[in-house]
Every structure is written in C-alpha cells, then in structure tokens.
Structure 1
Amino acid sequence: MWIEERQTQKGTVYRYYERYKCPKTNTMKRVSVTLEGNSPKHQKRAYTKLMCKINEAKEALEVKTITPTVTLYQVIEEWINYYKPTVSPRTQNTYDSSFNRLKALFEDIPLYDLKSIYIEEVLVNFHHVQGATYKYTCSLLRILKNALQYARRKGYIANVQDFLDITIKAKPKTITEIRKASNKFLDHNELKLCFAQLANIHKRIGLLIEFMTFTGLRIGELLALRECDYNRFNGAIDVNGSYDASTRTRGTPKNLYSYRKVPLNDRSKEIIEFFIRSNRWQYMSLGEPPEEERYIFINQNGHPYETQQINKILKRLDINGKHISTHVFRHTHISLLSELGVPLKAIMARVGHNNPRTTLEIYSHVTEHMKENIIEKLNTINL
C-alpha cells in the first residue's frame, strides 16, 4: 500500500493505493480510497477498505465467469417459485401477474450487466410518467430486491447493496387522490344508510357486511370462518384461514400476523348465532357437511358467498357517490377504532396488519376529520 498527498478546495487529503493480480488476465490492477488523514488509524482504515474492494472485484469476476448466462428474468422466476409455497394462492397469482409486468418493463439482461440506476430509472418513469400507483411501483421494487438478495445467496451475484439502496419518491397527491383516500371508509351516518339499504336488497349479505364492519376481517378470512372457529363461551372467533371462492378452497391467511383471535361485540355475536341457526334449516335439505366444512356465511347452495356476488350487490348502494366494496368495511372498522381512541398497535393486532402503513393511512384521515370538531367541543367548555 502506498499513499499520495493531494490538495483540494477543502484542504489536504490522502489517497491510498493497493495492487492486486487479476485472476482472469493475470495482469496487475489497482484500487484506491481517499481519506482526510494519514495517521496509523487512518492507514489501518484505508487498508481495510482496500481489501474489501479487492475482494469484491475478485468475487464479481468469479460470478461473471461461473454464471455468465444467469439473467434477470431467470432469477425473478426462480425466486418466485422458491417463495410461492410460503404464501397463499391469491398472493401466488399476484406474484405471477407482477412477473409479467416486470418482463414488460425490463430487458432480460445478464445479472453481471445489471445496474441499480437502470432499475431506478425504469421504475421512476413507471410511477411518475406512466402513472402507475406508488404502492404498485413499490411492490415491483420489493420483488426485484428479494429476487436479487436470493441471487446473492445462490452465488449468482456478489454484491446487491446498490440495489437495496434504491428508493422511489412518491409524486405529490392531487386533490382528487386525497379525496379518494378519504372515501376508503364510511362515517356513522353513511354506515346507517348502508345497512338500511342492504336490509332491503339482501338481508343475509347485509348482516355479513355488518359483521365485517364490527370485526375488520378481510373478506377471504370472513368467508373461511367455520362453526368450529367460533367460541361461544369467550365470544371470540379464531381467524386461521382464507377462502378462495373461485376454486372453492380454504387456504392459509395472508401472512403470519393474520392468524389471530378476534373478540366479538354483542351485535357480532347476534349475527353469527343467526347464521348458525339459519344454516341448520339449509342442512336439512342439502345434507350435513363434515365439521371442518361447516362454514358460517353460506349461500342457498351451502357454499360460502362469492366475493364477486357480494360486491355486485354493494354496487347497488347509493352512499354519497362513494364506490363501495367489501374492503371499505375493513377500513371502516379501523376508522371506528381510531375514533374510539384505541391505540394503533391494538388496531394492527385486531385486523392482522404487520405493516403500520395501511393502518396509519386510515388513522391519519380519521384524526384529520376529528379535528373539525375540536373547536366545537372547546366552545362547550364553560369555566
């Protein structure tokens, strides 16, 4: 290692050099680092940095020599196939769809030619120019990062830190987008109007939606509920599955945090007891199903309701021009708990969120709405 002193506008700096032999060409190459001092402490630090650079250069060359044909598409597909068994069928379909989108956005280039700036530029253009949502853009970036980390563990690529450092800045929200975000949940008056309309359109689905509002379950979790998942003694349900109406199969919940016990309020217990009793009459004509298939929220054919059928009925509702779907009532549950002052962590545990981002999104809108009543409440204080 040798040192060269240099003068810059900021003062004196020291450049440290070290040579190494390239294992492929047998020629001598050099690496360098620049520090602000040349004390023994600085020299030791420089030596460590130089050795890291040399090792990274050799590892990169080794990967390029051993696996020159490994491409971006191959790595993404390999990671998805590796990860698929750990997620629900619905998430598996989402990964397949995302892979097709990634193939449309990126070229199938060898990993050793892949640059982090290329990925960043494509995704920035996808969000800011092509108009893709920030959430969807970040989900694609997350798949790329996971696939590249997998590639590093497999020995296809030496260093992925530059890729892990990629961040996409969200474009400012328009007034329309802000208003749309506030339409993700219903207030008390809108809920009353919703339940009243559903009672006239379809009583059972109206009760199903009311149950969803008081529990915050995902629609797949609600449809997967069986009689054995309901504990009458402690008044709680055990959320441990998700129902796919398209395949009529019961799979695992969305993630590890989705496994949870949800205590029920009195109204929710009334609704679930109503369904269990009314289902008895259906079983008399349809036949008794096995205990593990005694679903609670079933249609006239004895199968759990289809999400498409529920959403079709919800589209008939006229609630201040809002687009109503099943997920609105999950968000509404979060907003109701927020208004009651329930701590964020407790809300996340109840609805099965592992990332506070979604919960906070609803939480923030509710607290903004609550601010409107602060002056009104302060004016009632008489000191």
Structure 2
Amino acid sequence: MFVRKYKDKWRFGERYKDPLTDKWRTITISADRNTRNTRHEAQITLDKKINAKLANITGERNKHAQMTLGELYDTYWKEKRPSWRYTSARTYRTSYKVFFNHFDSEAKLSKITSLMLTNHFDSLISEVLKKQKNKSYKGTSNIHSISGLKIYYARVSMMFNYAVRKHFIRETPFKDVHIEWPKENHRALIEQKYLDDDELKILLNYFRKVMPDFADIFEWQYLTGMRFGEAAALYLKDIDPLKKLVHVNGTLMYNAGRKEDFVKQNVPKTDSSFREIALSDRAIEIYRKHAKGKRQKDFLFTDEEGYPYSVQHANNYLKIFRKTHDFGKIISTHTFRHTHVSKLAELGVPLYVIQHNVGHSNSKITRDVYLHVTKKAQQELRNKLNKM
C-alpha cells in the first residue's frame, strides 16, 4: 500500500493486476489523517474493494473473503428477482424468511453443513406433523403441510445450487442431505383440496350472511376456476355479458399494503394465465349484481369505498370460518379453483379444457384432482353395474 498527501487529505492506494488484460490497475481512498489506525483501516477497505472488482471480473470470490448467508441471499435475489413475477417473488421471499429465522444471516456460507440442514428439515417435519394433529399448535414457521415443506426445501436448495454455480462454494451441502419424508395418504390429501357440493353450499350460505361480497367472489372462482387475484383485478370491461365471456388478463398487486394503493398488474401469474373463460348464467347474475352503478374501467368486486379486496383479507375470513366448520379440508381461496376442477371432472369435461379454465399449462394438482375424481366416478359406475 502506498500513502500520498493530496491537498489537505491523505490518499491511500493499492495496485492489482487485471486478470483479463494483465495490466496493473490502481485503486485509492482518502482519509483526513495518516496514523497507524487509519493505515490499517485503509488496507482493509482497499482489500475489500480489490476483491469486489476481481469478483466482478472473474465471477469468483477471493478465498479469504468468506461469503455470509446474507450476502448470498442478497446476490441471489438481486440476480433472480427481475425474472420472477411479483406473486412468485412474494412466495419465494416468504420461504427465505423462514430460513433466516433458523440460520443467522451473518453465518459463513462455507460453515453450513449437511448435518445442520438435515437437522433443520427433520425439525420442520416434526413441527408440521404436530400441526396436523393439533391445529392450535403454532410452531416456528408458517409451513403446515409436507408438500409445502418440500417446496421450501426446493427453494432453499436452489439458492445453494446458485452459490456453487457462481463458485462461492465448491459444492452444496444439500448433496449429503437425506430427508425421510413421511408417507402421506395421497387419496386423502387430494380430497382435502376441494369441497363437495354440500360443503360448498354450507360455506357459501355462511358467507352470504357474514360477508356477501366474499360469497360472490368465492362462487365466481368456483364457476370460472380463476385465482382470487385474477378475480379481484377484473374490470367491468373484461367481461362480455352478451358473449358470456370473461377475459383474464391480469392480477391484483397487494405489495403496497394499503387498499388505496392496490393496482392491477397486467401480467397474470404465468403466460398460460392469459385466457378467455365461458361464463354460466349464474356467473352473469353475479356480474350484473356487482356491475350496477359502475363504469367500464371500475373493478367488478369492490368494498363500499370502491376498493378491491385482497387475498389476505379473504383468507382471514376463511380462517374464521374454519374455526366453526371443520370439514377436514384445506380451505383457502385456492380451494374454489380445485373445487371447479373437481366439478368439471365429475361432469366429464376433458382435462385440457379444465387446464385452460384454471390457466395451467401443466399443473400436478389440477391433474391429480382430475384423475382422482374420474377414477372415483368410474368405481362408482362399476358398483352400480354390479348391482344390475
């Protein structure tokens, strides 16, 4: 390191070789004084700046600059976030929030072992199983199912795979993480995802008494297969009552928090989410009811002040409903989409038509519900034929 006085300041500098050109470069910083402490601090700062510049050129981190989990997350998020849609980014952030509730962001990336991760996931599995047995048990995370835990596992492992690809670490600790996932009753799990006719009737009647708008939105989801955010983002102009069609072309963004700032994002969840859906007579009735006194550019489903509803608001009401009505089902706004799938499957509608309605080009849940319902209908038919 060299030190030079420049006007009324001291300039500390260091040279390094550019790995692309083999030319020597110089980097400097300024300080008010030239003491032992300032020289020591200057050397540390210069080393960090040089390491950062070399990392930007080579893509590799200096071996002496150990990356923390927080630095990995910041780097990963900065690169990946622009490619994710808003709703996807929100769910990813939720997963990483769970991870950093268990692992300190200042922890060194190279210090994370497969045993630490194995113990972490084993602990979460135990927690999820407790939640399934005791609904009042809170736990340390918002993960309530083994399938949800598998999604969390995949998202965290993706971040570590990124670290390997960028040469931040030699290999991912997930390489030796072996999880014994509990065996689940697949049939029971599928049946938990949708409501039968009686259950749907009970739920809608309940909401017609306590929150009529939500009763209409939930029924609209059931009739169309739309996501809650897609339904909440509908303008009157998106519905053609004469042709009995709804044009799905966006979703509602809730990131601002205040309902006054909710806006329509003109990009649905996936590319296949852009679609037209045929509306039943009952759906048209719901449309006409909520369209009264509104302009074409107004939201269809709104509160008394004219603002659209958030999915969090709707799910909070569904949580209250579950406290007095235990169907043994997973009840959220997504339940009505799955119920739409189950009903169309029961009616013999082809899978590709159902996938179009729900905006899924390839969804395992949609396919599983469809196959489960159709197999169940075939078995019931066999039972009836055996009685002939």
Same fold per TM (> 0.5)?
Answer: yes
Please say if 1:330 is aligned against 2:334: no
Give 1:223 deviation, angstroms: 0.3
1:296-311 equivalences under 5 Å are 296-307=300-311, 309-311=313-315
**Which of residues 81, 91, 94 in structure 1 aligns to 2:91?**
94
Q: Distance in 2 between matches of 1:202 and 1:134?
A: 32
Q: What residue number does 2:56 align with?
A: none
- What SS class does the counterpart of residue 221 from structure 1 fall into? helix
Conservation of the 8 A alpha-carbon contact between 2:224 and 2:340: yes
1:168-183 equivalences under 5 Å are 168-173=179-184, 179=188, 182-183=191-192
Q: What residue number does 2:29 align with?
A: none
CA RMSD of aligned residues (A): 3.6
Number of residue equivalences: 305
Amino acid at match of 1:173: E
Conservation of the 8 A alpha-carbon contact between 1:243 and 1:249: yes
**Closer/same/farther in 2, CA of residues 320 and 271 from structure 1, 3 Å limit:** same
Q: Distance in 2 between matches of 1:356 and 1:168?
A: 25
Amino acid at match of 2:288: E
Please say if 1:352 is aligned against 2:352: no
Deviations 1:350-381 (A, max 9, x none): 21235532224433543464356234421454
Q: Distance in 2 between matches of 1:302 and 1:250?
A: 14
1:267-346 equivalences under 5 Å are 267-276=282-291, 278=292, 280=293, 283=294, 292=297, 294-307=298-311, 309-311=313-315, 315-316=320-321, 321=327, 324-346=331-353
**Closer/same/farther in 2, CA of residues 140 and 307 from structure 1, 3 Å limit:** closer
Q: Is there any run of 5+ residues in structure 2 with no aligned partner, and where?
A: 1-58, 129-142
Please say if 1:254 is aligned against 2:278: no
Amino acid at match of 1:342: V
Q: Distance in 1 between matches of 2:64 and 2:271?
A: 35
Q: Distance in 2 between matches of 1:112 and 1:310?
A: 43
Q: What residue number does 2:248 align with?
A: 239
Please say if 1:134 is aligned against 2:138: no
Give 1:275 deviation, angstroms: 2.1
**Closer/same/farther in 2, CA of residues 240 and 83 from structure 1, 3 Å limit:** farther
**Closer/same/farther in 2, CA of residues 377 and 73 from structure 1, 3 Å limit:** same
**Closer/same/farther in 2, CA of residues 362 and 343 from structure 1, 3 Å limit:** same
Q: Sequence identity, in percent?
A: 26
Q: What residue number does 1:156 align with?
A: 168
1:90-129 equivalences under 5 Å are 90-106=87-103, 109-112=107-110, 114-115=112-113, 117-118=114-115, 121-129=118-126
Give 1:297 deviation, angstroms: 1.1
**Which of residues 232, 237, 252 in structure 2 aligns to 1:223?**
232
- What SS class does the counterpart of residue 129 from structure 1 fall into? helix
**Closer/same/farther in 2, CA of residues 273 and 338 from structure 1, 3 Å limit:** same
Amino acid at match of 2:365: T
TM-score calculated relative to the size of structure 1? 0.65
Give 1:125 deviation, angstroms: 1.3
Conservation of the 8 A alpha-carbon contact between 1:205 and 1:310: yes
Amino acid at match of 1:299: D
1:166-205 equivalences under 5 Å are 168-173=179-184, 179=188, 182-205=191-214
TM-score calculated relative to the size of structure 2? 0.64
Amino acid at match of 1:335: S
Deviations 1:312-344 (A, max 9, x none): 655458767456543221211111122123343
**Closer/same/farther in 2, CA of residues 312 and 138 from structure 1, 3 Å limit:** closer
Q: Distance in 2 between matches of 1:121 and 1:334?
A: 37
**Closer/same/farther in 2, CA of residues 164 and 364 from structure 1, 3 Å limit:** farther
Conservation of the 8 A alpha-carbon contact between 2:194 and 2:338: yes
